[in-house]
Structure 1
Amino acid sequence: MNPLTENRLAGIALLFGLGFFAALFAAGFWLTDGAFVYSLDDTYIHLSMAEQIAAGGYGINPNEFASADSSIIYPVLLVPFSGTWFHGFMPLVLNVFALVIALVLMAKIIVESGLGKARGLSISIAIFLPVALNFQGLALLGMEHMLHVDTVLMALLGLMRWQKTGRLNGLLIAAVLLGPLLRFEGLGLSLLLSVVVFWRGHRFAGIGLALGALLPVIAFGLWLKSLGLSFLPNSVIAKSEIVGTDESALWAVLGHNFGPYGAPLFALLFVVVGLAFLLAATMPRFKLAPKHKVLALVTGGMVLGHAFLGKYGWANRYEIYALTFLVMAALVVFAPFVAATGRTALYGKVASLAAMTFGVAHYIGFAVVWAVHGPANIYNQQWQMAELARSFEGGAIMVNDIGLVSFQNNNRIIDLYGLASPAALKSRRERAPRGWPNQMAIDEDVGMAMGYDSWFKGSLGPGWIPTAYLDLHVPATFLSPRVTIYATRIDMVDPIIDLLKSYEPKLPRFASFEFIDAGATPQPEDTQ
């Protein structure tokens, strides 16, 4: 039987991959009663940042600089159509494009690795591996992660072709340069590839690639400093899991990844697999071809880097780039054994199918829950908060989830979590005394605050009056099904209650208000 061609396998991957994406999209669309909403509120932070970039600023409010975005280039890519009805669809357009590119690149890697000789296995991989790696769920988030996955697949295919021909190619160069611009984690792979290029005799090219990857990141940090911001974006610092003033506290990152509140199983698995790749590359007994030794070294180094310095979870988007490179590199390294005949090939096929089955079993639940219930969560919670924020006339609005609330909103939004507020980030990280949100509300002329009580964690002092709960009546995919709406001062109680009562008939079917009697103590929320 003839081996599969790249075009044929890519066609199969696109048919099934986009079909599954469309099915998930339609299911989520049904639960929002036809409103188009992303599965994650963070997508709207990108859009809000893009609005301000288009207007000549950088942040979520006019004339206020803030580094609420953890990607250098993604908000810039979202600038087109800013201020129009189509602007909200830009992340969808980019992610469908990224999903198509990923499926095609995956098919090319499978065929060029030699796995195309095993037709049945190749087709199974092309259909089920994207699901096992959560590609469709990732694309539905509307974030930059799917584009980042494209860069690691480009890097792998470019590395394979360079090893085969001895000539550097556009895929490899583009991957090295684009990765760090999309995600800071991309810098690790880019520098590893630059070292390999240098080590294999392309001295000037290796140095040039390293500088091309590193200098834009440094320049961006210096530009942020010139705006009066931190060298690293607030969004990176806020999500680094480091509490305290020392931003270089590496031990805190390690403690989180391998501790009970991190992802210790994932982190340990990455360590074990990373070390296995390094051993396979350096020990003669494994008898890897020279080109596969280089690939194994790069893979091992990248996986170990993410194990110790990376992040995991939260819609399973942080680790996917490393997991994708790891899985595809493993297929390439072991392709000669799997595509052959005999007992070894049989074992390889069984192991490949077992690994895919595990991946599908692990990620399919996340993909379905986030893709189907995620938009309903955002629509029935953040969308309604955003409508209230746009209608409020009593000053600024303070929230701890700034995405959709700040998008296409002329009112000033104050961030309580710290992505767009250095003051809030400093207070939260340094464990400021109780009452700091109250003082911030006074300083920023805040009239209404909306957020999850669990996020305040005892920080709130006396003076805020809870007026109502916004309750969610679908399975919560994140944070909490209950938002508390506060008046930050006594004269705002009646205007806020009037606003809520006038808006109540407009609430969708899975959202409701529960009004709170004056002086009542907020009830504990059910956090996820």
Structure 2
Amino acid sequence: MAFVALKLFVQTDGELFFTLDDPYIHLSLAENLLRGHYGINPGEYASPSSSILYPFLLAATLAIGLGDWGALALNVLPMLGAVWILAGLLARTRPRIELVLLLTLPLMILAVNGYGLVFTGMEHPLHLLASLLILAGVVRMVETAEPGQPPKVPAWMLAGLVLAPLLRFEGLALSLGGIVVLLSYRRFGAAIASLAAIVAAFAAHVSLMLRLGLPPLPSSVMVKSEASAAALDGAGTSLLTSMIDATSRVHNNEPARELVISMLLILLALFLPGHALRSRLTVGFLALFAGAAHMVLGKFGWFDRYEIYIAGTLLGALFWLAAPLIRRGNRAAAVFFLLICLALGDNYQDSTRKVPYAAQNIRDQQWQMHRFATEFYPHPVALNDLGWVSYRNDTYVLDLWGLGSEEARRMAESGRTPEKMQDIVSRHGVGWAMVYPLWFKDEIPDSWCRIADLHTIQVTAAHGNVAFYLTDPTQENALRAALTRFQADLLPSTRLEIHACAVDPA
């Protein structure tokens, strides 16, 4: 991890940049939380964060002066904890073939994207840790259960049960699975307390959102998850269709295929001797229930982060289920473990290698957009990449994609048109825009002048070209002068083309 960080800082000239624009959305919301406002723009409520809890944790790190480094700490420390838990599950094998298992360890870390995921600056390492706390707690329960006596429930398992869905909504399935396990072992008090805490937290969040005039789910979930949006809209047929589509995409999705393989291996491991049948079925149920839920309702990819929590849970469950076979000195089983980790981690080799260049991409594109919007032309702006431009920026930012603007999200839901686009920027006093033109085909008004194009590398940015549009003709001279100054102050790895309004560069 330190080596990847070193490469990142070399690529970004010693500055910390994350590999995605998304963490800066969380940071922007965290900034405003410290001001007592829930949203991106003062006086305009919005719910752009994909996590209920993570922006509040970031706000705490901002409050004590850690800045962006707080987000990195909230990634690195949980990832170290997650690797510790997985290594503990692996250590239960205590094999005679020590060398094979020592070789397995670094590959195990790669199998949960452990070297590169922390540089996304997102909540996923925390979610992975919470998920593994649940799995490790269930393992502790089945290992210590006495006949006729309810087993002890570790406090950290209860913490994982409550925190997992608050960090990521996908964590709800794993938490519900853990609560079912508690009920099956007659730990009714712990099950009820955990469920009550989850319900209370969600009720408080939903109540706050409704009071602010926002939908119960965050805008990012509504925009990015068809299943969630369909469920909230009450469209049962649409929900069923989106679930079928999500499942049918498996054959084109390598992480999804690996998830299916892991689930099949766990099914086979249920027949391995060693652990008591009930223990095997309990751990297998927890892993397979959560895995199936993610297959149907979850997402994959976007720099290999969405599925990591369930990939780690399945891997840990497989370690525990197969441990008795390896403990007996079965060399073939130990080598099989090594090959599994090699296969599961293969998908994340490429994203790990790309981390330094992804950080450079965010610096070259989104941070440059932020610089222009704050230093060169600090006027209300419309855009579709919300993060860096809104972070540390007190000027109004209109998110046309809908994550940071409920009004824009509803506009997109009903169908964007050139007329609607012109109307929303006019009502908010927005005179210029920075967007990906390919995201708004046939939706950009003819009256908007494509005045410039910023060209950068493309690694995690959706496109390598950002178009600058003049939406208010009265601002042309001022915007053109600012673009000329910006052009002279660009990073060497980027390029800005300025156009005459009569020319359509598309």
On whether the aligned pair clears a TM of 0.5, the verdict is yes
1:279 Cα deviation from its structure 2 partner: 7.5
Identify the match of residue 407 of structure 1 among 391, 395, 398.
Answer: 391
Query: d(CA) in 2 for partners of 1:481 and 1:458?
Result: 20
The equivalent of 1:147 in structure 2 is 126
Per-residue deviation, residues 102-154 of structure 1 (Å, max 9, x unmatched): 2222222222x234554223322322211122112111111000011111121
Query: d(CA) in 2 for partners of 1:89 and 1:262?
Result: 39
Identify the match of residue 226 of structure 2 among 226, 241, 255.
Answer: 241
Matched, 1:163 2:142: yes
The equivalent of 1:419 in structure 2 is 403
Query: d(CA) in 2 for partners of 1:30 and 1:273?
Result: 37
Partner-residue secondary structure (3-state), 1:485: strand
The equivalent of 1:397 in structure 2 is 381
The equivalent of 1:516 in structure 2 is 499
Is the deviation greater in 78-87 or in 121-130? 78-87
The equivalent of 2:349 in structure 1 is 364
- Whether contact under 8 Å (2:376, 2:486) holds in the other structure is no
- Whether contact under 8 Å (2:299, 2:306) holds in the other structure is yes
- Name which structure has the greater RCO, CA cutoff 8 Å, separation 6+: 2
Per-residue deviation, residues 128-185 of structure 1 (Å, max 9, x unmatched): 2111221121111110000111111211211111112221111211110111111111
The equivalent of 2:21 in structure 1 is 41
Per-residue deviation, residues 17-49 of structure 1 (Å, max 9, x unmatched): xxxx11111212122222221111001011101
Partner-residue secondary structure (3-state), 1:486: strand
- Whether contact under 8 Å (2:20, 2:460) holds in the other structure is no
Per-residue deviation, residues 461-497 of structure 1 (Å, max 9, x unmatched): 221111110000x343331000001111212222111
- Whether contact under 8 Å (1:91, 1:142) holds in the other structure is yes
- Number of residue pairs matched by the alignment: 496
Matched, 1:201 2:186: yes
The equivalent of 1:375 in structure 2 is 359
Partner-residue secondary structure (3-state), 1:69: coil
Matched, 1:87 2:71: no
Counterpart residue type for residue 494 of structure 2: A
Query: d(CA) in 2 for partners of 1:81 and 1:318?
Result: 24
Query: d(CA) in 2 for partners of 1:434 and 1:421?
Result: 18
The equivalent of 2:412 in structure 1 is 428
Partner-residue secondary structure (3-state), 1:313: coil
The equivalent of 1:353 in structure 2 is 338
Partner-residue secondary structure (3-state), 2:501: coil
Query: d(CA) in 2 for partners of 1:168 and 1:187?
Result: 19
1:209 Cα deviation from its structure 2 partner: 1.7
Partner-residue secondary structure (3-state), 1:136: coil
Equivalences for 1:48-127 in 2 at 5 Å? 48-80=28-60, 82=62, 86-111=66-91, 113-115=92-94, 117-127=96-106
Per-residue deviation, residues 244-264 of structure 1 (Å, max 9, x unmatched): 893653234324423559955
The equivalent of 1:211 in structure 2 is 196
The equivalent of 1:251 in structure 2 is 240
Per-residue deviation, residues 410-437 of structure 1 (Å, max 9, x unmatched): 1111101111111211222222434322
Equivalences for 1:303-342 in 2 at 5 Å? 303-341=291-329
1:394 Cα deviation from its structure 2 partner: 6.8
Query: d(CA) in 2 for partners of 1:123 and 1:36?
Result: 32
The equivalent of 2:148 in structure 1 is none
Change (3 A) 1:285 1:92: closer
Equivalences for 1:477-492 in 2 at 5 Å? 477-492=460-475
Counterpart residue type for residue 129 of structure 1: M
Partner-residue secondary structure (3-state), 2:451: strand
Identify the match of residue 12 of structure 2 among 23, 32, 40.
Answer: 32
RMSD: 2.4
1:284 Cα deviation from its structure 2 partner: 10
Partner-residue secondary structure (3-state), 1:163: helix
Query: d(CA) in 1 for partners of 2:121 and 2:272?
Result: 45
Query: d(CA) in 2 for partners of 1:35 and 1:456?
Result: 33
Change (3 A) 1:34 1:85: farther
Change (3 A) 1:261 1:273: closer
Query: d(CA) in 2 for partners of 1:262 and 1:223?
Result: 40
Equivalences for 1:486-505 in 2 at 5 Å? 486-505=469-488
- Whether contact under 8 Å (1:70, 1:235) holds in the other structure is yes
Query: d(CA) in 2 for partners of 1:504 and 1:74?
Result: 36
- Whether contact under 8 Å (1:394, 1:448) holds in the other structure is no
Q: Give ranges in structure 2 of 5+ residues lacking alignment.
A: 145-150
Counterpart residue type for residue 403 of structure 1: G
- Whether contact under 8 Å (1:162, 1:168) holds in the other structure is yes
Matched, 1:462 2:451: no
1:504 Cα deviation from its structure 2 partner: 1.8
Partner-residue secondary structure (3-state), 1:232: coil
Counterpart residue type for residue 184 of structure 1: F
Change (3 A) 1:255 1:491: farther
1:505 Cα deviation from its structure 2 partner: 2.3
Is the deviation greater in 83-92 or in 51-60? 83-92
Query: d(CA) in 2 for partners of 1:102 and 1:280?
Result: 23
1:391 Cα deviation from its structure 2 partner: 3.0
1:396 Cα deviation from its structure 2 partner: 1.1
Q: Give ranges in structure 1 of 5+ residues lacking alignment.
A: 1-20, 524-528
- Whether contact under 8 Å (2:78, 2:129) holds in the other structure is yes
The equivalent of 2:147 in structure 1 is none
Partner-residue secondary structure (3-state), 1:435: helix
TM-score normalised according to structure 2 size:
0.92
Counterpart residue type for residue 309 of structure 1: L
Change (3 A) 1:475 1:402: closer
Percent of matched pairs sharing the same residue: 29
The equivalent of 1:12 in structure 2 is none
Change (3 A) 1:84 1:302: closer
- Whether contact under 8 Å (1:95, 1:139) holds in the other structure is yes
TM-score normalised according to structure 1 size:
0.88
Per-residue deviation, residues 377-402 of structure 1 (Å, max 9, x unmatched): 01000001001111355741111001
- Whether contact under 8 Å (1:465, 1:487) holds in the other structure is yes
Matched, 1:186 2:175: no
Counterpart residue type for residue 388 of structure 1: F
